[in-house]
Amino acid sequence: MDSPREYFQTPRSLLYVEEQYLMNETSDVEKLLSCAESSYGFANYMDFLHLYYIPVIIVTGFLGNLTSCVVLLCTHLKLRSSSYYLAALALADSGYLLCLLVLYCSSNNFIHLYNMQGICQMCIYLTYVFSFLSVWLIVAFTIERFIAVQYPLKKPYICTAKRAKKIVSGLGLVAFLLYIFAFWITDVIDNECQLKPKYINFMEVFNYVDTTMTLVLPVIMIVGMNIMIARSLFKLRKYMQTRMADEPSPRQFDLYPTSSSRV
């Protein structure tokens, strides 16, 4: 051999290079098959969850919310203002679960309700409404807790059952009016419930507004008030510990017989 180039041009070296190339190709194919099998297994797992896990969540959630409403509104707890926020929250969550049940039945070819004219618009509308109410009812309940901790003397006058009913009704009215546009922007297109193409730009803008109203602003308010509540409770605990440490221990008195009791 005069040079390395002549060596790599021999039949033996060419056969070796070809074998290495085929081995690399086989290894790559095996990796792809392994990834495909893993993806197929994960897809089957997700299908199983979607088919069985979601209805279990819907049924148990609905029954739990119904039980909560009965307990909060049909017992002595109905005298508390917080019970109305929690009962309304349970109803809103139950409504959202019912909308999810309609979508589940349609996606699994059980009952094709979601893609029917009228039901399509109603489900989209109620999904928006119940999502809005679920978040802002939690905010209202947190505000009541904040008032009870920060201003305990004013709580009996501010946090009343009558006022709670008005706040819940007001939130419901705002939600019903705010998302009424859902009936005009959605339609059944090609047998599927979809957004009308001419409203795509509108929804892109509204999604930012809706995210701010139902996520950013409520989270800021809830976290901020909970921090202030925790701070007040920590100060109260520290004050009570200091007061108990400063109090003198109870003195023990010995009872001696008086002169009149002696014989």
Instruction: Examine residue 112 and state whether it is found in any structural domain, yes or no.
Output: yes
Instruction: Examine residue 4 and state whether it is found in any structural domain, yes or no.
Output: no
Tell me what percent of the residues of the chain surpass a pLDDT of 90.
Answer: 52
Q: Which domain holds residue 81?
A: 38-239
- Token digits for 45? 């797992």
Q: 237 in helix, strand or coil?
A: helix
Half-sphere CA count of 81, side-chain side, radius 13 A: 23
Instruction: Examine residue 203 and state whether it is found in any structural domain, yes or no.
Output: yes
CA 227, CA 235: separation in Å to the nearest integer? 12
CB distance 69 to 90 below 8 Å = yes
- Token digits for 36? 């495909």
129-153 pLDDT, tens per residue? 999 999 999 999 999 999 998 888 8
Report the pLDDT value the prediction gives residue 28, as an integer from 0 to 100: 54
Instruction: Examine residue 73 and state whether it is found in any structural domain, yes or no.
Output: yes
| Residue ranges of E strands in the chain | 186-189, 192-195
Q: Find the CATH number of the domain harbouring 203.
A: 1.20.1070.10
Q: Which neighbouring-strand residues pair with 186?
A: 195
CA distance to 67, 75, 153, per residue, from 70 (Å): 5, 8, 30
- Token digits for 197? 């193409």
Task: Mean pLDDT check: name the lowest of 35-44, 92-101, 136-145, 178-187.
Answer: 35-44
Checking if the pLDDT of 14 tops 60, the result is no
Residue with the bigger pLDDT between 104 and 35: it is 104
Instruction: Examine residue 15 and state whether it is found in any structural domain, yes or no.
Output: no
pTM of the complete model beyond 0.85: no
Report the pLDDT value the prediction gives residue 8, as an integer from 0 to 100: 43
Instruction: Examine residue 14 and state whether it is found in any structural domain, yes or no.
Output: no
Work out the mean pLDDT of the chain and round it to a whole number.
82
The sign of the CA dihedral 189, 121, 129, 55 is negative
Q: Hey, which of 10-19, 164-173, 253-262 has the most confident mean pLDDT?
A: 164-173
Instruction: Examine residue 135 and state whether it is found in any structural domain, yes or no.
Output: yes
Residue with the bigger pLDDT between 204 and 41: it is 204
Q: Single out the residue of 142, 126, 130, 125 nearest to residue 218, CA to CA.
A: 142
Q: Which neighbouring-strand residues pair with 187?
A: 194
Instruction: Examine residue 99 and state whether it is found in any structural domain, yes or no.
Output: yes
State mean pLDDT over 64-79. 92
Q: Single out the residue of 189, 184, 47, 65 nearest to residue 104, CA to CA.
A: 47
Q: How many domains does the chain have?
A: 1
Question: Phi first, then psi: what are they for 199, rounded to 5°?
Answer: -105, 10
Residue with the bigger pLDDT between 25 and 229: it is 229
CA distance to 43, 197, 234, 245, per residue, from 249 (Å): 69, 78, 25, 9
pLDDT band of residue 255 (cuts 50, 70, 90) is very low
Checking if the pLDDT of 48 tops 60, the result is yes
